Amino acid sequence: MNIGIVINTITFEARELINTAAKYFPDVKIELFKNDDFKFDITDDNGFKTDVDVFLQRSISMTRAVYTSFILEGYGYRVVSSHDTLSITEDKLKMTSHLKRHHVPTPRTMIAFTKETAMDAIHDLEYPVIIKPVSGSWGRLVAMLENDRAATAVLEDREELGTVYHKIYYLQDFVHKPGRSVDQYIDGDTVGRDIRAFVIGDEVASAMYRYEVPNDFRSNVTLGGRAEAYHITPELENIALKAARAVKGEIVGVDLMESDKGLVVVEVNGSPQFQGIMKSTGINIPKRILEYIIRTTKR
Ligand SMILES: Nc1ncnc2c1ncn2[C@@H]1O[C@H](COP(=O)(O)OP(=O)(O)O)[C@@H](O)[C@H]1O
Ligand SMILES: [Mg+2]
């Protein structure tokens, strides 16, 4: 079987997939496709020819990932993650709506398009409120608004400095994580955590807690959040798989929080990194990915 990996640059994930294929799957040939080198005639059915059986999409640039998955699928190739999954997950507004339509529990979320209606929505939600750009990752520009003064400042920044996408206001109830009160955030004494579940096909391959970055409410590993193995429970498995299906995802990262009403899904990542989860759980994620891809791809 020939597996193509679409990349911008060689990441930890791409390297691990190549090394794992060499070690465990001698019949698999891996070919790298740098999206910088692509040139497509999208008006010609034969505009792109290769003997690759399936593509793994690992571009760091989400915009390029969405487009190259779309184009390759147009030529008849299977791509994981698909254009459908990536175009839903790259946009938090669409992602949250899809989760809601599939009855996956999420924090209450409001959308507004002007600073005035955004302020009204913030008052509907009640402080503290989380504001996020609809498109973004690694916790960038995800902020906690604690009062009118902070909210006015952030909304004005977005209005004056932001692109058109920063003016789509995505506002969300703050989820009180276990062992946490808002006062503790203000004091800067942080212990809260989220859960990341790594879904491969119909299974949660592994899961971890991600503890908050000191003096922050965010726990992204890229920001310095500490990871620790999580024992997968039936509740987690059920919700994470439902969330993956809601975005038509095959290999996705599902971020959850333990709210007082049970687990809620805050986001689904269509192109999840796996260095942190491999280190904290010891599960061989690239091997599981390759097994899944080989099992589910027709030659
Ligand atoms: N509603 C919320 N309540 C409390 N903390 C949140 C909430 N939403 C996000 N966070 C924290 O902020 C981090 C980044 O938010 P997330 O929606 O995952 O954006 P990104 O795509 O940038 O990772 C999360 O991992 C979580 O720790
Ligand atoms: Mg996240």
Determine the pLDDT at residue 219. Answer: 87
Report the DSSP beta bridge partners of residue 2: 29
Q: Is the pLDDT of residue 188 over 60?
A: no
190: confidence class by pLDDT, cuts 50, 70, 90: low
Determine the pLDDT at residue 180. Answer: 52
Looking at the CA of residue 175, tell me the nearest atom of ligand 1.
Answer: 3
205 lines ligand 1 (CB under 6 A): no
> Rg (Cα) of the chain, in Å, rounded?
20
Angle, CA 90 vertex, CA 86 and CA 94 arms, to 5°? 100
What are the tens digits of pLDDT across the range 135-178?
988 889 999 999 999 999 999 999 999 898 899 999 999 998 76
- Spell out the residues 6+ positions from residue 71 whose beta carbon is closer than 8 angstroms to its own: 40, 42, 48
Domain locations along the chain: 2-88+288-296, 108-174
209-225: average pLDDT: 85
222: confidence class by pLDDT, cuts 50, 70, 90: confident
The rounded Å distance from CA 10 to ligand 1 centre is 27
Architecture of domain 108-174: 2-Layer Sandwich (3.30)
Among 127, 190, 257, 277, residue to substitute to test ligand 1 (most atoms within 8 Å of Cβ): 257
Identify the CATH number of the domain defined by range 2-88+288-296. Answer: 3.40.50.20
Ligand nearest to the CA of 108: 1
Instruction: Please tell me which residue, 15 or 211, carries the higher pLDDT value.
Output: 15
C-beta separation of 285 from 205 below 8 A: yes
Sheet holding 109-112, edge to edge: 109-112, 169-173, 129-132, 143-145
101-126: average pLDDT: 97
211-238: average pLDDT: 89
The rounded Å distance from CA 260 to ligand 2 centre is 20
39-65: average pLDDT: 95
116-132: average pLDDT: 97
Determine the pLDDT at residue 62. Answer: 93
Among 267, 271, 273, residue to substitute to test ligand 1 (most atoms within 8 Å of Cβ): 267
Helix%, strand%, coil% for the chain, nearest 5: 40, 25, 35
Among 134, 255, 268, residue to substitute to test ligand 1 (most atoms within 8 Å of Cβ): 255
